[in-house]
Structure 1
């Protein structure tokens, strides 16, 4: 009995023995894609640093309040 082992045969074998391949699971998992799926704060801080964004995100109102506090604090230091 002559078995021709061509490309189709190899692909069928690959499909049949796919569960034995250890590396497929490693190739399928690419990490968290959704921001809310990063559970811990440290993970979010690291990911934000990679993306080049600030975390936690501050609203304009928070930024204005922080700037006003810094301005008043600096002004008091000069008057002393």
Structure 2
């Protein structure tokens, strides 16, 4: 019986002993500077439910 990488990964997911058990665990970025473009930052902020760019109260009042 030939055991491939796919077989090893499925076994790891079944047992849950390794990091490969749940590769979809949410890990937010520790540093926003790691997101290079403004579009990436806007997309990530939308996913996290944050308002970006952060605006002061004065900026919000001036906008209205």
So what's the TM-score if we normalise by structure 1?
0.41
Q: Which has the larger radius of gyration?
A: 1
- Greater per-residue helix proportion: 1
With CA pairs under 8 Å and 6+ residues apart, which has the higher RCO, 1 or 2?
2
